[in-house]
Amino acid sequence: MSSSPSLNTWSDALSGFSIGWFPLGLVIVAVIPLVFIALYALTYGVYGERKISAFMQDRLGPMEVGFWGILQTLADILKLLQKEDIVPTAADKFLFVIGPGILFVGSFLAFAVLPFGPAFIGADLNVGLFYAVGIVAIEVVGILAAGWGSNNKWALYGAVRSVAQIVSYEIPASIALLCAAMLAGTLSMQQITVMQTGPGGFMHWFLFNNPIAWLPFLIYFISSLAETNRAPFDIPEAESELVAGYFTEYSGMKFAVIFLAEYGSMFMVSAVLAVAFLGGWASPLPNIGGLHLNDMTSGPAWGAFWIIMKGFFFIFVQMWLRWTLPRLRVDQLMYLCWKVLTPFALIAFVLTAVWEIYR
Amino acid sequence: MNQLTIPIIFYIFAAITVLSAAFVVFSKNVIYSAFSLLFTFFGVAALYVFLSADFIAVTQVVVYVGGILVLLLFGVMFTNTIMQTELKADVLHIVPGVLLTLVLIGGLLLAFYNASAAGQWMPGMMQLQGSVVERIGFETMSRYMLPFEMVSIVLLVALLGAAFLARYDKAHKKEH
């Protein structure tokens, strides 16, 4: 692992690969995050969510299919594939069909700028962090299309609540990420990660190498829960009030696509959090004396391992919180966003600026 | 990358932009028009990327898709009997419309002709190097300081005005 290839040598070689005029490599590069979301959401996401929620409630969860129910999600997929594709008669056919598509595209567009290790990043944009925050806007339109197209009052209420929530929480989330951008002095995701690497391991991460970063870290984590509609901010899909929110009318593969989009954006916000404050693909282990733990656990493959593990850790925390905290009311949600998180995000912004100038 | 790939991608995005913009104008259903705007904004953002203006492209998505389009959709959705309303302009100014279009096309073609006759498009004041974001930040904080601050004051006043108009009026409520 000592020889580390320069950034994107692999992916550049791949994207340059083409058969005749057809750029096959470009298509493959775009498919990688798609396959990743699908695999992770199907295996870790759904199975993990069910197992974790089962253990938190002192149950066993799925146990029938395979050892400890490990093939349960495959069985679910077979079921979802076989299901009849129902479009309600009163629904707006076009919007009903296109809604999940826009939602899914919106949720996985941000994967383009996630750095998976020192040697792989989809697109090392110089506005990467801004792009990752901003591209969520497309997801919002998909939610509205799904909610309106269903022609169901619960679905419409769910969609409107969800969009209001996502648009509001984008503000504290963006300000919190701006603090990380200020600490790094760049918006490129790869550069932000590189700024947090070093022989000290976790001590170089923004969360630990300055006294302020815990505040934007917490603010972004809370806002990211709201942006992905996770509990305690699952008001848009509150089962006890709205049946299932904006995807009430969906079944079969369309439901699966919405589900994949949700798990995709859960991983995305977790990975952005890891990149902004926890060193992205940087190894947490420090070099201790003659024991070069950090050097041993760095490199392209280890980098991918670390960022995926950090992402999974925060997904675990999201699931953990789901079974710990009760759901907020709508007014409490808006109170939290506008009167607590936004002012504190601004304070964190000013404090970070002062720290950057006077340290 | 292949020589042919970039033009093909460009024409795909250009087609998406133009077709969806045409759909916005010609559709009889307001909801479809509003949703079609998504593809227009997205296509325009992609065209900005082709001009290597990454920052403007992302800002386009954030401001227009995340802000204006969502506001528009909310406005359309909360309007009563939106599906029944048939959009129809009462007055059609065909002759002035066609004339205006011809003048516009003529002007654009003239500009294109002049530019290609001179052998070059208008060159930029300075060559772009490295990150555009730093340059934008530097310019807004130095040369364009006054316009930047004026815009911020205008936005603040607009926000205060909106908050004032939307405020729950206790005295007014008591009268009814």
HEC per residue, A83-147: CCCCCCCCCCHHHHHHHHHHHHHHHHHHHHHCECCCCCECCCCCCHHHHHHHCHHHHHHHHHHHH
Q: How many angstroms separate the Cα of A225 from the Cα of each of A12, A275, A290, A320, A348?
A: 34, 17, 41, 12, 19
CA distance A245 to B45: 31
Contact B1 A23 (CB under 8 A): yes
Residues B75 and B152 in one domain: no
Residues in chain A with CB shorter than 8 Å from the CB of B32 are 94-95
Interface test with B, best of A94, A144, A162 (most B CBs within 10 A): A144
Across the range A298-327, mean pLDDT stands at 83
Please tell me the predicted confidence (pLDDT) of residue A60.
82
Across the range A1-26, mean pLDDT stands at 60
Contact A156 B61 (CB under 8 A): no
- Residue found by looking up tokens 């848009």 in the block: A236
CA-based nearest distance B156→chain A, Å: 16
Please tell me the predicted confidence (pLDDT) of residue B129.
63
Domain assignment present for residue B43? The answer is yes
- Residue found by looking up tokens 């170089």 in the block: A204
Cβ-contact A159, A48 below 8 angstroms: no
Tokens of B22: 């045409």
Q: Complex ipTM, two decimals?
A: 0.74
Domain assignment present for residue B111? The answer is no
Domain extent for B49? 1-88
Domain assignment present for residue B110? The answer is no
Which amino acid type is present at position A97?
Answer: V
Query: Which residue among B88, B121, B147 closes a domain?
Result: B88
Contact B66 A21 (CB under 8 A): no
Residues B67 and B142 in one domain: no
Across the range A170-179, mean pLDDT stands at 90
CA distance A131 to A280: 17
Residues in chain B with CB shorter than 8 Å from the CB of A126 are 54, 130-133
Across the range A162-167, mean pLDDT stands at 84
Cβ-contact A139, A107 below 8 angstroms: yes
Percent of chain B past pLDDT 70, that is, above it, reads 79
**Higher per-residue pLDDT: A337 or A199:** A337
The highest-confidence range among A162-171, A275-284, B14-23, by mean pLDDT, is: B14-23
Residues B144 and B64 in one domain: no
Interface test with B, best of A127, A133, A186, A187 (most B CBs within 10 A): A127
Residues in chain B with CB shorter than 8 Å from the CB of A102 are 38
Residue A253 has pLDDT above 60, yes or no: yes
Please tell me the predicted confidence (pLDDT) of residue B157.
95
CA distance A315 to A235: 19
Nearest CA in chain B to A187: B133
Contact A23 B2 (CB under 8 A): yes
Q: pLDDT tier at B15 (50, 70, 90 boundaries)?
A: very high
What secondary structure does DSSP assign to A225-291, as a single string?
HHHTT-TTS-GGG-HHHHTTGGGTT--HHHHHHHHHHHHHHHHHHHHHHHHHHS-TT---PPPBTTB
Interface test with A, best of B80, B133, B159, B168 (most A CBs within 10 A): B133
Cβ-contact A223, A161 below 8 angstroms: no
Residues in chain B with CB shorter than 8 Å from the CB of A170 are 66
Domain assignment present for residue B116? The answer is no
Contact B38 A141 (CB under 8 A): yes
User: Angle, to 10 degrees, between the axis of helix A214-227 and the axis of helix A300-322?
Assistant: 70
Please tell me the predicted confidence (pLDDT) of residue A189.
85
Please tell me the predicted confidence (pLDDT) of residue A229.
78
CA distance A195 to A47: 35
Residues of chain A with a CB closer than 8 angstroms to some CB in chain B: 15-16, 18, 21, 23, 26, 92, 94-95, 98, 102, 125-127, 130-131, 133-138, 140-141, 144-145, 148, 156, 160, 163, 167, 170, 186-188
CA A154 to chain centroid: 26
Tell me the pLDDT of chain B averaged across its residues. Answer: 81
Please tell me the predicted confidence (pLDDT) of residue A98.
85
Size of interface A-B (CB pairs under 8 A): 85
Across the range B65-77, mean pLDDT stands at 82
CA-based nearest distance B61→chain A, Å: 7
Residues in chain A with CB shorter than 8 Å from the CB of B65 are 137-138, 140-141
Residues in chain A with CB shorter than 8 Å from the CB of B132 are 126-127
Across the range A151-162, mean pLDDT stands at 82
Cβ-contact A173, A220 below 8 angstroms: yes
| pLDDT per residue as tens digits for the range A70-93 | 777 778 778 878 887 777 777 777
Q: pLDDT tier at A263 (50, 70, 90 boundaries)?
A: confident
> Residue A21: which of B2, B59, B130 has the nearest Cβ?
B2
Residues in chain B with CB shorter than 8 Å from the CB of A130 are 55, 58, 62, 133
User: Residue A212: exposed, middle, or buried by beta-carbon count in 10 A (0-12, 13-18, 19+)?
Assistant: buried
Domain assignment present for residue B108? The answer is no
Q: pLDDT tier at A46 (50, 70, 90 boundaries)?
A: confident
Which amino acid type is present at position A20?
Answer: G
Residue A126 has pLDDT above 60, yes or no: yes
Q: Picking from A125-134, A184-193, B52-61, B126-135, which range would have the lowest pLDDT averaged per residue?
A: B126-135
Domain count, chain B: 2
Cβ-contact A148, A98 below 8 angstroms: no
Please tell me the predicted confidence (pLDDT) of residue B113.
83
Domain assignment present for residue B44? The answer is yes
Residues B58 and B134 in one domain: no
Percent of chain A past pLDDT 90, that is, above it, reads 5
Contact A134 B66 (CB under 8 A): yes
Residue B42 has pLDDT above 80, yes or no: yes
| pLDDT per residue as tens digits for the range B22-36 | 988 887 777 888 888
Please tell me the predicted confidence (pLDDT) of residue B103.
95
Q: pLDDT tier at B170 (50, 70, 90 boundaries)?
A: low
Query: Which residue among B88, B109, B138 closes a domain?
Result: B88
Domain assignment present for residue B59? The answer is yes
Tokens of B176: 């009814």
Task: Indicate which CATH number applies to the domain containing B40.
Answer: 1.20.120.1200
Cβ-contact A227, A107 below 8 angstroms: no
Tell me the pLDDT of chain A averaged across its residues. Answer: 80
Look at phi and psi of residue A289 and say left if phi exceeds 0, alpha if psi is from -120 to 50, else beta. Answer: left
**Using omega within 30 degrees of 0 as the cis cutoff, is the peptide bond preceding A232 cis?**
yes
User: The dihedral of CA A187, A193, A196, A198: what is its sign?
Assistant: negative
Contact B73 A15 (CB under 8 A): no
Please tell me the predicted confidence (pLDDT) of residue A1.
32
Across the range B35-44, mean pLDDT stands at 88
Residues of chain B with a CB closer than 8 angstroms to some CB in chain A: 1-2, 4-5, 31-32, 35, 38, 42, 54-55, 58-59, 61-62, 65-67, 69-70, 73-74, 77, 130-133
Contact A134 B59 (CB under 8 A): yes
CA distance A41 to A260: 6
Nearest CA in chain A to B77: A148
User: Residue A306: exposed, middle, or buried by beta-carbon count in 10 A (0-12, 13-18, 19+)?
Assistant: buried
CA-based nearest distance B56→chain A, Å: 10
Please tell me the predicted confidence (pLDDT) of residue A3.
40
Across the range B101-111, mean pLDDT stands at 92
Domain assignment present for residue B123? The answer is no
Q: pLDDT tier at B150 (50, 70, 90 boundaries)?
A: very high
Contact B62 A140 (CB under 8 A): no
> Residue B35: which of A95, A160, A163 has the nearest Cβ?
A95
Please tell me the predicted confidence (pLDDT) of residue B17.
92
Q: pLDDT tier at A20 (50, 70, 90 boundaries)?
A: low
